[in-house]
């Protein structure tokens, strides 16, 4: 093993040291996760995070006008500034049961995977570093970001990065799952919704053409006919449909939510143009209202596979003995990439049933996940990731 | 101001008054107190892990308020003891404690044996089936005992709905409290009606009180504690803390019937012990319930006089009409 790699591995704490602090990490993840936090309604959860940052004695604890919560854990010299982020918002509506259940080696509950564990680790980090006796030279900028997912379109982190006055040298985005994950690039991505409305004055004797579901069916058929290159990989995912009200009435409205992803520069824009043409054609041919609304976009980009930050992260992940999962991101990493900040997204444990009511994570891999994070922070702090 | 009103003013708290846990820890250390948290369990594997993790993290690791967190188990057949142990609780099987005293099955048995097993000057009992567990369930009960030396026994009550449209709203306990216990207290121990939820399973008590009172092992344990402590120390020994909302399993009416039967046994036994059977007091006619105005708890009293009519056969006009004689 090259000496540099061995030096990096020496920076990773023994996971058993993290295990001895598990109560604080798990309690933060669970208490944070039991506070409902749908996108645009992150207020209560950010108060929890703000209080944790304040109690940890962090500096410049603040909540901005987009409801991001941020604080600085100052390093001994502040020669580098490392941003760590986890999103505050979830897909679950406020009235849903957010109670968590702890088993001997698992936590189950809405949003624990996406992304209460990330927040739990973020809020526990000052405590963990103190207990491990880790003193970094770099300043750590911890940020709980609002409006990240779905129609939030990374509004929180983009606002924070646009308005944070100082330079940020590196970024690490925390996700609960999967341990071994490494993202260092973002895909081109576009999320959209097509709405179909049949006017009240429609001639209903023309059934079944009068049903918005029939128009939706034509839309889906035409979307599937759009030619997609298999290399560079490009996909159109049909995510969800809503249509109609009951058995005996033609559906007056229908909608489709979809996501386009592509590894190719400008491919998503080309597909957007294709979809727009289909939408206009359907509206004209069927005398109904059809509209396309783009709710989120990501630019393709990222650092290279050979960037020292990527190499170091791979070295750290390999030492965990888990399978590396290298995948592009559509999350907060994209906002950091847009600002040309070298950044990665890492996973903290194993999880399943993502976005379901029974989202579940395993507890024991968290100790490795947090050890990985601290190893990576110390490596960045020690200059191993500088270009 | 009546004694009950005064007591409500001075001895009823809201947990948010004690938000400064660091100050609480300092006061505890200044007074040299040792604190124990006891969770009695029977097949609670779904909720026990979360309770232990949250209490250990918030009230031992981050703020060293409790000196021990213990689970006293009645012999669960699920993973309760394993889960509790894996998250760092001291776990005891009730039957292993004081084996020479025998082994009885019931929550009261666990609470009683905890006095022998745990070392705290104050023991805080918290049920294991709380879905929305939060550190307030423990520090909210301990704090009045730390700050006020005259208070011996602090009960939890749960209130403050998230939304209420009018200025005044009714308050009170669960079905058994409102249908059985409050009417009994109103009749025989009117001052005890000041306790908003006398049957709540969460309370904190000083050792010197716990070691002197008997423990029914079943449903009557809370009722008997209240009557015994009241008989010995009076109303001023009690405090009560509003812990906001508590989410837990709802019991069926049939289960509440069994509970009421147990409580009634305990109540009547206490009346007998206090010598009240032979010389029943003048029956009260004032019934006391609660309402809340802003954050103030007020008793609402109703004069309910249950007048009786004699049997119709004793009425002369009736006898004359149907039997032809006066």
Of B50, B82, B86, Cβ closest to residue A101: B50
List of chain B residues whose C-beta atoms are within 8 Å of the C-beta of residue A101: 46-47, 49-50
Same fold, A3-186+300-381 and A188-297: no
Please choose, from the candidates A314, A316, A343, the residue with its C-alpha nearest in 3D space to the C-alpha of residue A8.
A316
- The tokens describing B53, both together, are 């993790």
Work out the minimum CA distance from A68 to partner chain B, whole angstroms.
25
pLDDT tens-digit readout, A1-32 = 667 788 999 999 999 999 999 999 999 999 99
Considering chain A, what percentage of its residues have pLDDT values greater than 90?
Answer: 80
Whether residue A197 is predicted with pLDDT greater than 60 in this model: the reply is: yes
Note whether residue B304 is domain-resident.
Answer: no
Of B47, B61, B79, Cβ closest to residue A24: B61
Of A24, A100, A105, Cβ closest to residue B57: A24
Across the interface, whether the CB atoms of A102 and B79 are under 8 A apart is answered no
Distance of CA B78 to the CA centre of its chain: 27
- For chain A, give the mean pLDDT: 93
pLDDT tens-digit readout, A345-387 = 999 999 999 888 899 999 999 999 999 999 999 999 999 999 8
User: What is the domain-level CATH number for residue B51?
Assistant: 3.90.550.10
- The ipTM, to two decimals, is 0.80
pLDDT bucket at A209, cuts 50 / 70 / 90: low
Note whether residue B118 is domain-resident.
Answer: yes
Domain count, chain B: 1
Residue A333 to residue A327: CA distance in whole angstroms: 12
Residues facing B124 on adjacent strands: B37, B204
Task: Spell out, as residue ranges, where chain B has pLDDT lower than 70.
Answer: 1, 159-173, 248-249, 293-295, 326
Residue B173 to residue B260: CA distance in whole angstroms: 14
Phi, psi of B260 (to 5 degrees): -60, -40
Structural domain for B271, as ranges? 3-281
Of A26, A55, A105, Cβ closest to residue B53: A26
Residue A66 to residue A344: CA distance in whole angstroms: 23
CATH superfamily of A3-186+300-381: Zn peptidases (3.40.630.10)
Residue A359 to residue A98: CA distance in whole angstroms: 11
Tallying the residues shown for chain B, one arrives at 326
Across the interface, whether the CB atoms of B47 and A26 are under 8 A apart is answered no
Q: In A, what residues contact B, Cβ < 8 A?
A: 21-24, 26-28, 30-31, 34, 55, 99-105, 127
Please choose, from the candidates B135, B271, B129, B109, the residue with its C-alpha nearest in 3D space to the C-alpha of residue B200.
B129
Q: Does B79 touch chain A (CB under 8 A)?
A: yes
Burial of A195 (0-12, 13-18, 19+ CB in 10 A): middle
Per-residue pLDDT averaged across A152-160, rounded? 95
Integer CA distances (angstroms), B180 to A212, B190, B223, B290, in order: 59, 14, 11, 15
pLDDT tens-digit readout, A57-84 = 999 999 999 999 999 999 999 989 999 9
pLDDT of amino acid B164: 47
Q: Which chain A residue lies closest to B131 (C-alpha atoms)?
A: A99
Residue the block writes with tokens 């509970």: B259
CA angle B95/B97/B103 to nearest 5° reads: 35
Q: Do B220 and B259 meet the contact criterion of CB atoms below 8 Å apart?
A: no
pLDDT of amino acid B159: 67
* Beta pairing class for A139-145 and A81-87: parallel
Q: Does B248 touch chain A (CB under 8 A)?
A: no
pLDDT of amino acid B73: 96
Work out the minimum CA distance from B221 to partner chain A, whole angstroms.
29
Q: Chain A interface, mutation test: which of B39, B49, B79, most A Cβ atoms within 10 Å?
A: B49
Work out the minimum CA distance from A152 to partner chain B, whole angstroms.
27
Q: Does B276 touch chain A (CB under 8 A)?
A: no
Q: Which chain A residue lies closest to B53 (C-alpha atoms)?
A: A23
Please choose, from the candidates B202, B193, B229, B201, the residue with its C-alpha nearest in 3D space to the C-alpha of residue B214.
B229
Q: Which chain B residue lies closest to A34 (C-alpha atoms)?
A: B132
Distance of CA B294 to the CA centre of its chain: 24
Q: Looking at per-residue confidence, does B3 or A137 come out higher?
A: A137
Q: Looking at per-residue confidence, does A354 or A142 come out higher?
A: A142
From its phi and psi, is residue A238 left (phi > 0), alpha (psi between -120 and 50) or beta? beta
Work out the minimum CA distance from A382 to partner chain B, whole angstroms.
30
Domain extents for chain A? 3-186+300-381, 188-297
Q: Does B247 touch chain A (CB under 8 A)?
A: yes
Of B58, B61, B131, Cβ closest to residue A99: B131
Q: What torsion, rounded to 10 degrees, do the Cα atoms B62, B63, B65, B69 define? A: 0
Residue A249 to residue B172: CA distance in whole angstroms: 49
Across the interface, whether the CB atoms of B49 and A104 are under 8 A apart is answered yes
Q: Which CATH architecture has domain A188-297?
A: 2-Layer Sandwich (3.30)
């Amino acid at each position: 093993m090259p000496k540099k790699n061995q030096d990096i591995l020496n920076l990773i704490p023994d996971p058993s040291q993290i295990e001895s602090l598990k109560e604080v990490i798990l309690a933060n993840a669970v208490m944070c996760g039991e506070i409902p936090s749908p996108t645009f309604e992150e207020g209560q959860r950010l108060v929890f995070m703000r209080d944790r940052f304040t109690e940890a004695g962090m500096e410049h604890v603040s909540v901005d006008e987009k409801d991001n919560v941020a604080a600085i854990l100052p390093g001994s010299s502040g020669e580098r500034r490392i941003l760590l982020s986890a999103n505050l918002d979830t897909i679950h509506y406020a009235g849903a049961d957010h109670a968590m259940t702890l088993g001997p080696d698992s936590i189950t509950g809405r949003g624990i995977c996406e992304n209460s564990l990330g927040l739990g680790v973020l809020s526990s980090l000052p405590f963990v570093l103190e207990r491990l006796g880790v003193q970094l030279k770099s300043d750590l900028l911890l940020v709980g970001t609002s409006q990240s997912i779905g129609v939030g379109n990374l509004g929180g982190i983009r606002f924070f990065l646009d308005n944070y006055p100082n330079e940020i040298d590196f970024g690490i985005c925390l996700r609960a799952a999967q341990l071994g994950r490494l993202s260092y690039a973002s895909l081109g991505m576009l999320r959209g919704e097509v709405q179909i409305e049949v006017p009240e004055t429609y001639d209903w004797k023309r059934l079944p053409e009068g049903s918005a579901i029939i128009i939706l069916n034509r839309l889906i058929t035409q979307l599937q006919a759009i030619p997609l290159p298999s290399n560079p990989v490009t996909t159109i995912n049909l995510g969800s449909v809503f249509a109609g009200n009951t058995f005996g009435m033609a559906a007056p409205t229908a909608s489709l939510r979809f996501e386009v992803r592509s590894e190719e520069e400008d491919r998503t824009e080309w597909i957007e143009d294709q979809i727009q043409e289909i939408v206009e054609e359907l509206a004209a041919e069927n005398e109904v209202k059809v509209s396309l609304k783009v709710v989120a976009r990501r630019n393709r980009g990222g650092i290279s596979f050979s960037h020292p930050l990527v190499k170091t992260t791979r070295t750290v992940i390999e030492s965990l003995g888990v399978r590396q999962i290298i995948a592009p991101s559509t999350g907060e990493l994209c906002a950091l990439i847009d600002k040309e900040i070298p950044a990665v997204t890492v996973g903290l444990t194993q999880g399943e049933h993502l976005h379901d009511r029974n989202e579940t994570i395993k507890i024991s891999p968290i100790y490795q996940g947090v050890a990985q994070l601290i190893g990576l922070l110390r490596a960045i702090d020690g200059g191993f990731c500088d270009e | 101001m009546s004694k009950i009103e005064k007591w409500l003013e001075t001895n009823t708290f809201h947990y948010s008054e004690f938000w400064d846990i660091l100050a609480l820890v300092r006061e505890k250390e200044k007074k040299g107190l040792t604190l124990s948290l006891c969770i009695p369990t029977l097949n609670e594997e779904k909720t026990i892990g979360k309770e232990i993790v949250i209490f250990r993290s918030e009230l031992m690791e981050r703020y060293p308020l409790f000196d021990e967190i213990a689970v006293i188990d009645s012999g669960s057949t699920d993973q309760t003891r394993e889960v509790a142990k894996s998250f760092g609780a001291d776990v005891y099987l009730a039957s292993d404690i004081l084996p020479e005293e025998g082994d009885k099955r019931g929550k009261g048995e666990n609470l009683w044996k905890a006095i022998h097993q745990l070392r705290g000057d104050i023991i805080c009992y918290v049920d294991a089936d709380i879905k929305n567990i939060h550190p307030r369930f423990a520090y909210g009960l301990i704090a009045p005992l730390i700050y006020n030396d005259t208070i011996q026994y602090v009960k939890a009550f749960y209130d403050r709905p998230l939304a209420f449209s009018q200025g005044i709203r009714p308050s009170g306990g669960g079905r058994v409290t409102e249908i059985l216990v409050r009417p009994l207290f109103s009749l025989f121990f009117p001052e005890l009606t000041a306790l908003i939820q006398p049957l709540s399973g969460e309370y904190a008590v000083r050792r010197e009180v716990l070691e002197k009172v008997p423990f029914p092992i079943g449903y009557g344990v809370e009722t008997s504690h209240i009557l015994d402590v009241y008989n010995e120390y009076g109303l001023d020994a009690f405090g009560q803390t509003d812990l906001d909302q508590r989410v837990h399993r709802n019991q069926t009416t049939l289960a509440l019937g069994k509970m009421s039967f147990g409580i009634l046994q305990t109540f009547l036994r206490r009346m007998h012990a206090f010598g009240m059977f032979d010389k029943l007091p003048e029956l009260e006619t004032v019934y006391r319930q609660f309402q809340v105005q802003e954050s103030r708890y007020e008793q609402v009293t109703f004069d309910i006089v249950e007048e009786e009519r004699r049997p119709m056969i004793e009425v002369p006009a009736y006898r004359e009409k149907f039997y032809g004689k006066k």
